[in-house]
Amino acid sequence: MSIEQFSGKGRLADTGEGITGDELQLAARNHGMPLEALRYDLTPAGLHYVLVHYDIPAASATNWRLTVDGCVEQPLSFGMTELRAMGRQTVRVTLECAGNGRAGLQPRPISQPWLMEAVGTAEWTGVPLAALIRAAGIRKDAIDVVFTGADHGFERGIEQDYQRGLTVTEALDSGAIVAWEMNGAPLPPQHGYPLRLIMPGWYGMASVKWLRSIELIDHEFTGYQNAVAYRIRQEPNEVGVGITRIEPRALLIPPGHPDFMSRHRFVPAGPIVLQGRAWSGWAPIERVEVSVDAGVSWQDAKLDADSNDLSWRGFSFDWDAVPGEHVLTVRAHDASGRVQPIEAPWNRGGFANNSAQRITVLVLSQPSA
Amino acid sequence: MSIEQFSGKGRLADTGEGITGDELQLAARNHGMPLEALRYDLTPAGLHYVLVHYDIPAASATNWRLTVDGCVEQPLSFGMTELRAMGRQTVRVTLECAGNGRAGLQPRPISQPWLMEAVGTAEWTGVPLAALIRAAGIRKDAIDVVFTGADHGFERGIEQDYQRGLTVTEALDSGAIVAWEMNGAPLPPQHGYPLRLIMPGWYGMASVKWLRSIELIDHEFTGYQNAVAYRIRQEPNEVGVGITRIEPRALLIPPGHPDFMSRHRFVPAGPIVLQGRAWSGWAPIERVEVSVDAGVSWQDAKLDADSNDLSWRGFSFDWDAVPGEHVLTVRAHDASGRVQPIEAPWNRGGFANNSAQRITVLVLSQPSA
């Protein structure tokens, strides 16, 4: 056995190939947000989606250090107490995994097999990233900022710490924070305890967990997670386009009651209020459409108050459920003009897929017990 | 479409059939404990395994009621404040899903596709169940005690609240508590907020979440989750044997660093301490054996101090890792004489499977970076 056999190339599933054992191992470790948890304005920590590339590192806030160095005037190193003295801000952020929706694709890229529940919204508290970088002083030759987590492993034969890069402009202007609290409590281990980056509006891969180093460099960052993974490609060898902000998506709370195994829904006939949330990392949500006939016809949902940030926005729709089978679907529009597609274009990594949710519902003429 | 088409019969996977879309939906909602979390004595709430049959119900502690009625001298109804006045006890409990290990079986029963991480240990705080039942007074005709949760749905065509029964003796003598705290905090929604049963030593299906009713009945309980599901059967139509206590199992913390996709492990050559936990619902753990050659030879692990309850017990094993590929495996013995098998016998529901863990490790002659 060699490293290559232990840590292989990416691939697409064969036609009709079921979910593989490797995909199942990831699905059993990582988890989405059960969609009924769309009912909570803020997702409780244990219900928020989580994706961990390698292992959750053992970590202690007591001896944790964050360094800010590289192309800076004055390299800095912070313990948790020193960091807390640098400022405190709370931001409400909807995070979504860049691979959300992947498992529904044909052909299916073999990786973490998300359906469409890899999302969550939390209030993250920490110090603005810009304050830390400015405290160190940005040298003129600085081009990119590299964030390094304490998680370490292999991907496609390459041993690495989890690392992501941003341009200096993105790092300064995106409202990013270096967070130590989630929903008012210390970060849970799986969400980056004791310290993580939060990049509002960006897919989750940018929000590096277990953050231990911020390094300014004088060239473009070409690490694995920017240059190899997390790119939109049609063919394996093309350069592709790096993934940044979250595409618009709306999700309904599945109404009624589920079947344990199929997750199909049973709904008693009569008036029912359908509810859900919609979000986009590009601009606030300004319209949500609902269809109760599998997309043949669409009607506007009622939007909740605007949150004045990029976090999700609630919506509701009054439906008079008549007996029989129905397919509910929903799509979001944001203020940048982006419209969620019924079916998003395929790409080889299964990234940024925002195809519309479909919920199969059987409306029962007798009220459910 | 009919109820039967929405909520079908159980089945076994065909030969070579990959994990199905239905199984994946469950794997994306529910989740195991990432095995590196075996490092924590108490599993943080968001890392503890969770299985929800239907939806997590919307619930509020403010207006929650628990009734104790049926074959009792005096039916009772408790709000949360009244319950807290009935007593307070904290128990440390290892819970494991009865379906843990199912996805590794051949043929594979189609249900929640657990590998082997459906476990967790927490401190649960609440009032002893026996105190509540005794406060109501047990009538002589009482035979079984039925626990009803607020979760509601369909299984194999049968609409139901989640319900489980115990005999009166089991309910009084098993150290069960009605809990409102997990690890010192209110129960998270997915673990039964605001109130759940905890049955120490039993597989998780007995610890009814979102508990709203305790009813003593004068006959044997024949509800779905006792009489249809959660039974050991070889053939679909046999009566089978009800599932109760947890079979012994040991799990190692996977050493070294993982590959993202295969989860195979890379370990630098040299001395390393392998660590893990073992548990049994029948009796305390008294021996754990480790094999670093796929089960050809076995050596005793060093046990941590006995916890004096049925919760997991830590162990460690000094390994001098030599370069090459190795398969690590481990097995537990408890004080009742039960020994964890290398391969547990198959049953149709994939229940109570405690086949030994196997971890494939590549030991690298050069130290890992």
Per-residue pLDDT of chain A (369 residues; tens, 9 = 90+): 578 778 888 899 999 899 999 999 999 999 999 999 999 999 999 999 999 999 999 999 999 999 999 999 999 999 999 999 999 999 999 999 999 999 999 999 999 999 999 999 999 999 999 999 999 999 999 999 999 999 999 999 999 999 999 999 999 999 999 999 999 999 999 999 999 999 999 999 999 999 999 999 999 999 999 999 999 999 989 999 999 999 999 999 999 999 999 999 999 999 999 999 999 999 999 999 999 999 999 999 999 998 889 999 999 999 999 999 999 999 999 999 999 999 999 999 999 999 999 999 999 997 544
* Domain locations along chain A: 3-242, 249-364
Name the residue facing B1 among A52, A156, A362 (closest C-beta). A362
Question: Quick check: B111 and A261 CB within 8 A?
Answer: yes
CA of A17: which chain B residue's CA is closest? Answer: B18
CA distance, residue B172 to nearest chain A CA (Å):
30
* The token pair that represents A79 in the structure block: 């313990």
Distance from CA of A131 to the nearest CA of B (A): 31
- Residue B277 backbone dihedrals phi, psi, to 5 degrees: -140, 150
Q: Cα dist. B324→A1, A269, B266, B270, B292 in Å?
A: 7, 63, 10, 12, 12
| Cα separation, B223 vs B210, whole angstroms | 18
Q: Are A50 and A190 in contact (CB under 8 A)?
A: yes
Q: In percent, how much of chain B has pLDDT > 90?
A: 94
Tell me how far apart the alpha carbons of residues A301 and B223 are, in angstroms, rounded to a whole number.
41
| A254 contacts: CB under 8 Å, gap ≥ 6 | A35, A36, A263, A265, A359, B55
In B75-134, the residues whose Cβ lies within 8 Å of chain A are 103, 110-111, 113-115, 117
In B, minimum Cα distance to A361 occurs at: B6
* Angle at the Cα of A145 from the Cα atoms of A144 and A147, rounded to 5 degrees: 145
For residue A160, give both structure tokens: 């690495």
From residue B309, give the alpha-carbon distance in Å to each of A86, A296, B91. 46, 60, 9
- Considering only CB atoms, which chain A residues are within 8 Å of B325? 1
Q: Which residues of A touch B18 (CB under 8 A)?
A: 17-20
Closest CA of chain B from A335, distance in Å: 31
Out of B159, B191, B257, the one facing A153 most closely (by C-beta) is: B257
Going by C-alpha positions, the residue among B103, B139, B133 that lies closest to residue B118 is B103
Looking up tokens 């929604």 gives: B189
Does residue A137 belong to the interface with chain B, where contact is any CB pair within 8 Å? no
Q: Which residues contact B338 (CB under 8 A, 6 or more apart)?
A: B247, B248, B280, B282, B283
Using a CB-CB cut-off of 8 Å, the residues of chain B touching A53 are: 260
Residue A95's DSSP bridge partners are A120
What is the pLDDT, as a whole number, of residue A367?
Answer: 55
Q: Are B98 and B247 in contact (CB under 8 A)?
A: no
Which chain A residue is nearest to residue B150, measuring alpha carbons? A257
Instruction: Please name the fold of domain B3-242.
Output: Sulfite Oxidase; Chain A, domain 2 (3.90.420)
For B266, residues 6+ apart whose C-beta sits below 8 A from its C-beta are A3, A6, A7, A153, A154, A159, B256, B257, B258, B259, B361, B362, B364, B368
* Residue contact A54–B114, C-beta within 8 A: no
| Beta-carbon count within 10 A of B181 CB | 16
Answer whether B260 sits within 8 Å of A153, measured CB to CB. yes
Q: Does A11 touch chain B (CB under 8 A)?
A: no
| Distance from the A159 Cα atom to the nearest Cα atom in chain B, whole angstroms | 8
Mutate to test the interface with B, among A154, A155, A159, A275 (most CBs of B within 10 A): A154
Say whether residue A358 is in contact with chain B using an 8 A CB cutoff.
no
Q: Hey, how many other C-beta atoms are within 10 angstroms of the C-beta on A247?
A: 25
Q: What whole-number distance in Å separates Cα of residue B42 and Cα of residue B48? A: 9
pLDDT at site A171: 98
Give me the interface pTM, i.e. the ipTM.
0.95
User: B177: distance to nearest CA of chain A, Å?
Assistant: 23
Say whether B190 and A52 touch across the interface (CB within 8 A): no
Chain B residues touching A115 at Cβ < 8 A: 24-25, 28
Which A positions 44-73 lie with beta carbon below 8 A of chain B? 44-48, 50, 52-56, 58
- Does B113 sit within 8 Å of A55, measured CB to CB? no
CA nearest A198: which of A103, A122, A256, A249? A122
Instruction: Reduce the DSSP state of residue B204 to 3 states and report it.
Output: helix
Q: Are B56 and A198 in contact (CB under 8 A)?
A: no
The answer to whether residue B322 neighbours chain A at the CB level (below 8 Å) is no
- Give the span between the Cα atoms of B148 and B65, in whole angstroms: 12
Distance of CA A155 to the CA centre of its chain: 20
Contact residues, B window 155-184, toward A, CB-based 8 Å cutoff: 155, 159
| pLDDT of the residue at B4 | 79
Q: How many CB pairs under 8 A join A and B?
A: 222
pLDDT tens digits, B151-178: 999 999 999 999 999 999 999 999 999 9
Which long-range contacts does A88-91 make (Cβ < 8 Å, 24+ apart)?
A: A88/A125, A88/A126, A88/A127, A89/A125, A89/A126, A89/A127, A89/A128, A89/A177, A90/A123, A90/A124, A90/A125, A90/A181, A91/A123, A91/A124, A91/A175, A91/A177, A91/A198, A91/A200, A91/A309
Q: How many CB atoms lie within 10 A of CB B358?
A: 16
Residues of A (192-251) whose Cβ lies below 8 Å from B? none
How far is the C-alpha of B143 from the C-alpha of A72, rounded, in Å?
75
Classify domain B249-364 at the CATH topology level.
Immunoglobulin-like (2.60.40)
Provide the H-helix boundaries in A168-276.
Answer: 168-173, 224-227
Round to whole Å and give the CA distance between B35 and B117: 6
Cβ contact A301:A290 at 8 Å: yes
Q: Which of B4, B6, B26, B228 to mutate to test the interface with A (most CBs of A within 10 A)?
A: B6
Identify which of B34, B45, B117 has the shortest CB distance to residue A56: B34
Contact A29 B26 (CB under 8 A): no
A259–B contact, CB cutoff 8 A: yes
Q: From CA A339, how far away is CA A348, in angstroms rounded?
A: 22
Its sign, for the CA torsion B231, B233, B236, B237, is negative
Question: Which residues does chain B have within 8 Å of residue A101's beta carbon, measured at their own beta carbons?
Answer: none
Residues of chain B with pLDDT under 50: 368-369
Q: Are the beta carbons of A252 and A359 closer than 8 angstroms?
A: yes
Contact at CB, B28 and A159, closer than 8 angstroms: no
